[in-house]
C-alpha cells in the first residue's frame, strides 16, 4: 500500500494509526524505524501525540463538567468563564483539577488536592482525589470534605461514587472543599487550576 509520501516519510493517516496503535505490528515496526532516523517525522510525531492526549483530556473535561453542573461556580474559573482561558487549558493539559488550602504554601498544614478527570462518567464511576502536602508529599490520613461529601483519606487518597457525590453537589449550602488533618486542624481550600503548571 502507498504508505509513503514522495520523500519517503509515512503519510498523515499512517502516523495517526501509529499513534492510535491500530497498525499491524509489521507496519508499526516500519514506521517506528523510519521515525527513529527522521528528524522531521520525529517532530511531527511528538506534536501528534500531544494533540491526541489533549483531545482525550478535553473529553474528560466535558464529562466532569456535567457532574458539576448544579454548582457551575466551582468550575467556572476552570471553564474559562470568569478567569482566563489559560486556567482551563492548564486543567485540560494536566488532566486534573487542582485545589489548595487557603494558606501560605510554607505553612505546615498546607494541602493540595488533585481531582483526576475521569474518562467517562456514569453513576458507577468514582471520583478520585489525591491529597498532598508540602513538596507534594502525600498526606497519609485525614478527612476531605468536598462539596459537603465527607471522604476519609487513606494513604493520600480519597474517592466517592459519582452517584453519591451528585446528592451533595446539589446542595447550595455545602462549601466547596476543606481538609481536616489527623491533628484536627481543618483548612478550607480554593480551586487553583494551574497548580502544576506554575512549577
Ligand atoms: Zn520522515
Give residue 175's pLDDT: 84
Average pLDDT over every residue of 60-75? 78
For residue 27, give the H/E element and its range: helix 25-36
Residue 85 has what pLDDT? 58
Task: Please check whether residue 155 is in contact with residue 146, taking contact to mean a CB–CB distance below 8 angstroms.
Answer: no
- pLDDT score of 118: 77
Q: How far is the CA of 35 from the centre of ligand 1 (A)?
A: 6
Between CA 143 and CA 163 the distance in angstroms is: 20
- Give residue 77's pLDDT: 59
Q: By the 8 A CB rule, do 3 and 27 touch? A: yes
Note the pLDDT of residue 199.
Answer: 43
b/e map 78-115, b = 16+ CB within 10 Å: bbbeeeeeebbbbbbbbbbbbbbbeeeeeeebbbbbbb
Distance of CA 172 to the CA centre of its chain: 25
- Distance from residue 56's CA to the centre of ligand 1 (Å): 26
CA–centroid distance, residue 98 to ligand 1 (Å): 39
Among 57-61, 66-70, 164-168, the range scoring the smallest mean pLDDT is 57-61
Task: Tell which wins on pLDDT, 55 or 88.
Answer: 55
Out of 3-17, 47-61, 85-99, pick the least confident. Answer: 85-99
Q: Which three cell numbers stand for residue 161?
A: 461514587
CA of 50 to the centre of ligand 1 (A): 18
Written as nine digits, the cell of 3 is 504508505
* Each residue's pLDDT tens digit, 122-179: 888 899 999 999 888 999 999 999 999 999 999 999 999 999 999 998 888 888 899 9
Residues contacting 48, CB < 8 A, separation 6+: 15, 16, 19
Per-residue model confidence as pLDDT tens digits over 15-58: 999 999 999 999 999 999 999 999 999 999 999 998 888 787 77
Measure Cα distances from 164 to 7, 97, 117, 122, 127 in Å.
57, 19, 17, 11, 10
Cα 14 to averaged position of ligand 1 atoms, centre (Å)? 12
pLDDT digits (tens, 9 = 90+) for 105-116: 889 999 999 988
Amino acid at each position: 500500500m502507498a504508505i509513503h509520501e514522495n520523500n519517503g516519510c509515512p503519510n498523515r493517516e499512517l502516523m495517526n494509526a501509529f499513534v492510535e496503535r491500530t497498525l499491524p505490528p509489521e507496519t508499526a515496526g516500519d514506521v517506528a524505524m523510519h521515525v527513529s532516523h527522521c528528524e522531521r517525522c520525529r517532530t511531527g510525531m511528538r506534536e501528534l501525540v500531544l494533540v491526541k492526549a489533549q483531545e482525550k483530556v478535553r473529553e474528560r473535561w466535558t464529562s466532569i463538567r456535567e457532574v458539576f453542573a448544579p454548582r457551575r461556580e466551582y468550575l467556572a474559573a476552570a471553564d474559562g468563564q470568569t478567569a482566563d482561558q489559560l486556567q482551563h487549558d492548564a486543567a485540560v493539559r494536566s488532566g486534573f483539577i487542582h485545589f489548595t488550602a487557603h494558606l501560605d504554601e510554607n505553612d505546615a498544614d498546607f494541602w493540595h488536592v488533585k481531582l483526576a478527570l475521569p474518562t467517562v462518567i456514569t453513576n458507577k464511576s468514582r471520583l478520585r482525589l489525591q491529597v498532598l502536602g508540602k513538596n507534594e508529599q502525600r498526606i497519609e490520613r485525614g478527612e476531605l470534605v468536598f462539596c459537603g461529601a465527607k471522604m476519609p483519606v487513606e494513604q493520600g487518597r480519597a474517592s466517592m461514587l459519582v452517584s453519591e457525590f451528585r446528592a451533595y453537589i446539589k446542595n447550595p449550602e455545602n462549601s466547596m472543599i476543606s481538609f481536616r488533618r489527623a491533628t484536627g486542624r481543618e483548612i478550607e481550600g480554593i480551586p487553583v487550576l494551574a497548580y502544576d503548571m506554575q512549577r
